[in-house]
Structure 1
Amino acid sequence: MSFNPLEHRGIPLEDQVRSWRELDVTPVDPDHTDSYTKCRIITMNGIETEAIFFSHHFSRFCPDMDVRRQLAEVRYIEQQQQKTVNWLLPGQASVLETTLSYEQVAVDLTAWVARMEPDPYLTQAYEFGVLEDFDHLYRYANLYEMIEHRKAEKVVDQVTEVMPGRPTKLHHRHPYDNVRDPYDRTKAAPISKLHALTVMAAEQQTMNFYMNVGPEYMEPIARQLYQEIGLVEEEHVTHYESLLDPGETWWERLVNHEYNECYMYHSMMQTESDRRVKAIWELHLNMELEHLRIACELMRRHDGRDPESILAPELPTPVTFEPNKEYVRNLLATQIDLTTLGAGYVREAHERFEKMQERLNAGEKPSSERVIDEHRDMFSDEYRLQTEGPHPIRSLREPVGSAR
């Protein structure tokens, strides 16, 4: 059934402030909750965090005091929403356990977006990132067993495979080569704009998470691995945010953010298996409908355009967390040796890439390789969760980008 958020009135803004008791949500059970429910929580935390950051940046550059007050009022509600969503995560789950869920989001959300994206250039950008996050999941899964002596299959419910992707050591590129060409705001499909916002927000939240939790570990290999992958997340945020057209006005961006929040809460509501969590998605959707209405009014007043001119007439197909095993395996078989050069992709190593590798590694093995070595020393093998068939790659020991 089609749903156009522009045709619905949500909860009036003055009725949206919740008490401490209402914000004190009971977290999900880490041992009995669907792994994709945790993925939906992490995703929506990223969406809300991006909305808050965007609103702050907008306010810093906006000279109109009335608009700044309006942004502040809506932003306070967004902060309450973010606290509600993020506080659904179980406190007893370790940082590493939550990290595995973050990387599961990165794999299955980005793979789904890549499958649904109509623009081939944007699809390639998402497919490129998937193979790197897939490898991060593998590295953290090995660390998880080493430190906590538990296996990642319970965390990811075996719906996402755990095995090598594009090796993490080869993700470190010169910053120039992380900047992609943006979509054209006048030609891009509305769903393409939503996809770009969604994946950027999810990766940004992962970057922020690793920036803060990495030094909480005492084990040197854990601290070093979070530091290494945390810098890859910086590359990924640059990679995805550069896809957005910088020519979009602040008002256009505001409307796109609010429309995307409606889209994402509606999607989570349609697919959520936990009834209690689903009720939160529904409540927040009804709040976001009002936020969207306010943003549309601001755009009409200050940008002189109707929001309908840039938005889809109805919400697209709901974002769905589902297994992407065959899709990822096909990418492993066909794209593992890609790296970037400028805004494009190549299969051969190039001078900037090689110099960056030399500078970072300084003749030593990076932590992403040592964590596998240490796992083999401890358990006589590396940890993998491979649900069916042989690994699609003949050899993962060849350097990415090497000439064939």
Structure 2
Amino acid sequence: MAFNPLTEKGIPLDRQLRHWAELNVEPYRKEDVHPYTRTRVIAMNGVEVEAAMFSHNMARHTVDTGLKKVLAQVRRIEQQQQKVCNWLIPGEENSIENTVGYEQVAVDLTSWVARNEPDPYLKQVYEFGLLEDFDHLYRYSNLLDLMGGDPAAIVGGYTEITPGRPTIFEHRHPSDELRRPMTIHAADFQSVMNAMTILAAEQQTMNYYMNIGNRPTDPIARGLYLEIAQIEEQHVTHYESIMDPTMGWHMHHVLHEYNECWMYWSFMEDETDARIRAIWELHLSMELEHLRLACEAMKAIEGRDPADFLPANGMPRGVQFHENKDYVRGVLAAQSDLTAWDSEFLPIDQLPKDHRYFDYQAAVNASVPPTEQIIARHREERGEDYRLETEGPNPVPALRRKGNGSTMAYHDRVQMNTEEPRAGGRM
């Protein structure tokens, strides 16, 4: 059934404020929480953080005192919603366990978005990022296993753990992280919601690693967070660049509130935990009113009706977390060797030898990357790296287990054997 938040009635804003005991919710039990309940919690926290940050930035760029008041009032409630979402995560779930959950979000949420993306170029954008987050899940899982944790218990067998596009290859010059932006009036509305959702999720991961990456005491663990945090910066640049840069503040405001409604509705439909489902339902009722206020502000200040760009019949489907093993394997088999040149994607061996990619690689990988060190340590201490390959060996032969080999050696061969680009290549 399609969901149209413009036709639903929400809770009036003056009835949305909650007291401390209501906000300090009981967290889920990490021992028995469903993996996709965990991922929904993490994803909604990211959406709420994005909403709060956007609202603050909009307030800093308007002189309209009345609008500032509306933004402040709604933002206070959305900050309460964010606390509830984030406080569902128990303190007993340590940072690295939480990190594995974050990367499962990245893998399965990006997979769903890519599979439901109508624009071929944007689909490629998502699949490109997917393989990098898939590799991050593998690297962090090896760290967690060395710490005595159980990555399989976190992902629940729904997501495989095996190398993706090796992180050592992911480090690219900033100029090669910019993608072609969509045009809001030409894009399918599904594309708009997809982009906003993934951008919020990736931004949350970037922020999380910026803050907790220095918490481990082990130098390799600290280095692992440091290196992957830099890729998360790349990913935020990668995804934010596909948004239409001509959209004004009020359009962004309406779209943010619409996205929150759509996400809460989606997760309410699929949530298996009755208590948490009730939270999604309550927050949806609040967001419906936030959307109405954003639409009214746009009409009053810009004289524009949001119905001009919002879908008349609502969204036909909701975001779902589900198993994507075969899909990820297919993308990995076809695209593990891709890199970026400006806004396009191509195999690394099609780059010219003097491409800026190699200069950037030489600079940041002058010392052994921590993402390689963690695998080397796991092999040294346990005899082999940690994997959860439920569907068979890695679909890329070069990424299968080979004794004590590493992607460092493969990386060096690629660097040495790079040929001149084919005809039509850019300089």
Q: What range describes the TM-score normalised by the shorter chain of this pair?
A: over 0.9
Question: What residue number does 1:23 align with?
Answer: 23
Question: What residue number does 1:333 align with?
Answer: 333
d(CA) in 2 for partners of 1:90 and 1:105? 17
- C-alpha deviation, 1:2, in angstroms: 2.6
Question: What residue number does 2:189 align with?
Answer: 190
Question: What residue number does 2:268 align with?
Answer: 269
Cα shift readout 1:66-114 (whole Å, capped 9, x = no counterpart): 1011100000000000000000011101100000000000000000000
- C-alpha deviation, 1:306, in angstroms: 1.2
Question: What residue number does 1:60 align with?
Answer: 60
Find the partner of 2:390 among 374, 384, 387. 387
d(CA) in 1 for partners of 2:45 and 2:385? 32
d(CA) in 1 for partners of 2:261 and 2:194? 13
d(CA) in 2 for partners of 1:372 and 1:106? 21
d(CA) in 2 for partners of 1:284 and 1:65? 27
- C-alpha deviation, 1:121, in angstroms: 0.8
d(CA) in 2 for partners of 1:317 and 1:8? 17
1:223-372 map, 5 Å: 223-313=222-312, 314-348=314-348, 349-350=351-352, 351-362=355-366, 364-372=367-375
Gaps of 5+ in 1: none
> Aligned pairs, how many?
402
- C-alpha deviation, 1:185, in angstroms: 1.2
Amino acid at match of 1:35: P
Question: What residue number does 1:12 align with?
Answer: 12
Q: SS state of the match for residue 214, structure 2?
A: helix
Question: What residue number does 1:146 align with?
Answer: 146
Question: What residue number does 2:379 align with?
Answer: 376
Q: SS state of the match for residue 99, structure 2?
A: helix
d(CA) in 2 for partners of 1:326 and 1:191? 23
Question: What residue number does 1:216 align with?
Answer: 215
TM-score when scaled to structure 1?
0.98
Question: What residue number does 2:51 align with?
Answer: 51
Q: SS state of the match for residue 216, structure 1?
A: coil
Contact in 2 for aligned 1:347/1:403 (Cα 8 Å): no
d(CA) in 2 for partners of 1:303 and 1:244? 21
d(CA) in 2 for partners of 1:371 and 1:111? 26
Contact in 1 for aligned 2:97/2:149 (Cα 8 Å): no
Amino acid at match of 1:78: E
Cα shift readout 1:10-67 (whole Å, capped 9, x = no counterpart): 0000000000111110000001010100000000000000000000010001111110
Contact in 2 for aligned 1:163/1:385 (Cα 8 Å): yes
1:80-159 map, 5 Å: 80-147=80-147, 149-159=148-158
d(CA) in 2 for partners of 1:151 and 1:284? 32
- C-alpha deviation, 1:178, in angstroms: 0.6
d(CA) in 2 for partners of 1:172 and 1:284? 38
Identical amino acids, percent of aligned pairs: 51
- C-alpha deviation, 1:389, in angstroms: 2.2
Question: What residue number does 2:403 align with?
Answer: none
Cα shift readout 1:247-276 (whole Å, capped 9, x = no counterpart): 001111000000000000000000001000
* Structure 2 residue 181 is the aligned partner of structure 1 residue 170: no
d(CA) in 2 for partners of 1:101 and 1:311? 33
- C-alpha deviation, 1:203, in angstroms: 0.3
d(CA) in 1 for partners of 2:65 and 2:187? 33
- C-alpha deviation, 1:118, in angstroms: 0.3
- C-alpha deviation, 1:403, in angstroms: 4.8
d(CA) in 1 for partners of 2:315 and 2:291? 13
Cα shift readout 1:125-167 (whole Å, capped 9, x = no counterpart): 00000000000000000001112x1221011001000000000
d(CA) in 2 for partners of 1:327 and 1:388? 12
Contact in 1 for aligned 2:2/2:317 (Cα 8 Å): no
d(CA) in 1 for partners of 2:316 and 2:219? 45
d(CA) in 1 for partners of 2:87 and 2:32? 17
Q: SS state of the match for residue 9, structure 1?
A: coil
d(CA) in 2 for partners of 1:186 and 1:303? 17
Q: SS state of the match for residue 269, structure 1?
A: helix
Q: SS state of the match for residue 88, structure 2?
A: coil
Amino acid at match of 1:355: D
d(CA) in 2 for partners of 1:124 and 1:255? 27
- C-alpha deviation, 1:309, in angstroms: 1.2
Contact in 2 for aligned 1:191/1:316 (Cα 8 Å): no
Q: SS state of the match for residue 340, structure 2?
A: strand
d(CA) in 1 for partners of 2:102 and 2:316? 24
Q: Which runs of 4+ in 1 moved over 6 A?
A: none
d(CA) in 2 for partners of 1:41 and 1:71? 24
Amino acid at match of 1:385: L
Cα shift readout 1:302-354 (whole Å, capped 9, x = no counterpart): 22221111112212311000010000000111000000000111113451110
d(CA) in 1 for partners of 2:107 and 2:316? 21
Contact in 2 for aligned 1:191/1:312 (Cα 8 Å): no
